[in-house]
């Protein structure tokens, strides 16, 4: 009875939000999936039309509805360009929750989300075992990009992927609580899974930067995934459990700001935690809203709170070119685009050059990349072409998931272009001072 009540509430929320859509088709011009397939069912308007009769469709063909809803990157391009202000991402996420509540999670997703991701200590341990054993199954293919491929026939196919780090960030820095320095500010640091387990160097770059600017840092002993992988698959149970787990580590601290270096984590904490963690108690929801209000991307924090400015010293001359890819969850969801560029141009080591379509989705989309790699890589190849055309020797971004996708595309093409996080570039300039 409780499950049916929850299902009815979710359906009502979806229906209430659908009425805003005028079916104008503006989303067609910006949807990266539609650009590849030309299928109306792959664009937001087509999915919204499907959801208009979700209750009937769900009973008639629940698997078909689930499949069509999964063919979405959740990049937010449609929402950012919608003249009616339709909250497309909220609708799709809630619709996925409706379908998942009705048909249930697949056995594999149950294991991944509820047995692993929802238990952060176990998840960390499994990933560390994976790091030790991965050499048996993978072989390096590009030293510059740090990519590898499968040694044997693998479900990962022909991907060139970034391997798990020998030591995750949380092992190197299991806990930190330093007082505010010259800045007078105390920051909480939310690392995120991909930085922790694949790119810990980004976490260390963040720490070097904050220490340089006299910012106190708090890193809790226990922190888990932000919850977006589970939420995007409709698993609200795991999502709510992870939000609660993270609250325990962060909400009790008197922080001026909560910093992340992951665009997806930033967007999830700032926008989705307050609106989609509906099973939280009123005090927990208040804590979530407080944290969301304090959450900032690292580049945004440097520019808006610490006054970092572009130096101009990298202009002209023979210095190597650097370009920038806008993560969808940073620019389209949060409107943050100028700040990372300012941070990059604060480094005197490079000349900055814009690539074409810098804010076009790279095609990763988290689980979309796993379920629809053919589409994901087709979209990613356009990004690779624009990076190559820029002539840059380094492409920077602000999202570790985008780094995975871009590294794959560049590695497969044999391009000699490094992939870095914007904060790595900034921290390297501090190291040379």
Question: In sequence order, what are the residues at sequence separation of 6 or more whose Cβ sits closer than 8 angstroms to the Cβ of residue 391?
Answer: 321, 353
Assess whether pLDDT exceeds 60 at residue 314.
Answer: no
Q: What is the pLDDT of residue 7?
A: 60
pLDDT band at residue 60 under the 50/70/90 scheme:
confident
User: What average pLDDT does the chain have?
Assistant: 91
Write out pLDDT tens, residues 258-287.
999 999 999 999 999 998 877 889 999 999
Write out pLDDT tens, residues 214-224.
999 999 998 99
Q: What is the pLDDT of residue 191?
A: 95
Q: What is the pLDDT of residue 2?
A: 44
Cβ atoms of 373 and 157 within 8 Å: the answer is: yes
Tokens at residue 345, please?
A: 């141009």
Q: What is the pLDDT of residue 312?
A: 65
In the chain, % of residues over pLDDT 70: 93
Q: Which is more confidently placed, 327 or 97?
A: 327
Cβ atoms of 195 and 264 within 8 Å: the answer is: no
The segment with the largest mean pLDDT, out of 43-47, 91-95, 248-252, 289-293, is 289-293
Comparing CA positions, the residue from 261, 402, 430, 426 lying closest to residue 350 is 426
Q: Which is more confidently placed, 203 or 66?
A: 203
Assess whether pLDDT exceeds 50 at residue 112.
Answer: yes
Domains located in the chain, CATH noted? 2-104 (1.10.1060.10), 321-431 (3.40.50.10700)
Cβ atoms of 398 and 297 within 8 Å: the answer is: yes
Cβ atoms of 159 and 205 within 8 Å: the answer is: no
Rg (alpha carbons) of the chain, rounded to whole number: 21
Q: What is the pLDDT of residue 1?
A: 38
CA angle 315, 387, 399 (to 5 degrees): 90
SS3 content of the chain, % helix, strand, coil (to 5): 55, 10, 35
* Cα-based distances in Å from 97 to 12, 51, 70, 94, 333: 13, 13, 12, 5, 21
Tokens at residue 189, please?
A: 């640091």
User: Rounded distance, CA 87 to CA 56, Å?
Assistant: 22
């Amino acid at each position: 009875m409780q499950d049916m009540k929850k299902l009815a509430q979710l359906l009502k929320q979806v229906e209430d939000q659908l009425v805003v859509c005028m079916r104008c088709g503006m989303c067609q011009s910006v949807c990266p999936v539609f650009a590849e397939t030309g299928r109306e069912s792959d664009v937001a308007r087509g999915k919204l039309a499907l959801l208009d009769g979700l209750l009937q469709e769900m009973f008639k063909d629940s698997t078909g509805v689930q499949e069509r809803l999964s063919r979405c990157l959740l990049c937010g391009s449609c929402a950012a360009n919608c003249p009616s202000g339709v909250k497309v991402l909220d609708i799709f996420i809630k619709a996925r929750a409706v379908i998942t509540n009705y048909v249930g999670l697949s056995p594999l997703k149950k294991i991944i989300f509820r047995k692993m991701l929802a238990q952060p200590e176990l998840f960390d341990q499994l990933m560390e075992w994976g790091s030790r054993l991965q050499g048996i199954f993978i072989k390096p293919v590009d030293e510059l990009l740090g990519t590898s491929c499968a040694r044997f026939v693998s479900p990962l196919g022909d991907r060139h992927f970034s391997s798990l780090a020998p030591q995750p960030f949380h092992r190197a820095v299991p806990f930190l609580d330093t007082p505010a320095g010259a800045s007078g500010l105390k920051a909480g640091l939310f690392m995120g899974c991909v930085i922790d387990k694949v790119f810990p160097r980004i976490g260390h770059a963040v720490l070097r930067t904050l220490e340089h600017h006299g910012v106190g840092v708090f890193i809790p002993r226990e922190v888990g995934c932000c919850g977006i992988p589970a939420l995007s698959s409709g698993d609200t149970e795991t999502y709510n459990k992870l939000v609660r787990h993270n609250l325990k580590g962060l909400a009790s601290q008197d922080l001026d700001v909560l910093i992340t270096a992951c665009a997806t984590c930033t967007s999830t904490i700032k926008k989705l935690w307050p609106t989609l963690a509906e099973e939280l108690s009123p005090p927990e929801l208040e804590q979530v809203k407080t944290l969301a209000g304090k959450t900032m991307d690292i580049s945004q924090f440097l520019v808006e709170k610490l006054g970092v400015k572009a130096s101009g010293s990298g202009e002209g001359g023979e210095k190597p070119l650097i370009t920038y890819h806008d993560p969808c969850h940073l620019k389209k969801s949060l409107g943050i685009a100028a700040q990372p560029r300012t941070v990059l141009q604060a480094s005197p080591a490079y000349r900055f050059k814009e690539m074409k379509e810098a804010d076009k989705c790279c095609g990763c989309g988290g689980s979309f990349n796993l379920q629809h790699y053919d589409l994901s890589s087709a979209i990613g190849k356009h990004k690779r072409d624009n990076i190559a055309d820029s002539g840059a020797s380094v492409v920077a971004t602000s999202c570790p998931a985008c780094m995975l996708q871009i590294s794959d595309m560049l590695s497969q093409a044999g391009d000699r272009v490094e992939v870095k996080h914007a904060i790595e570039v900034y921290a390297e300039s501090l190291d040379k001072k």
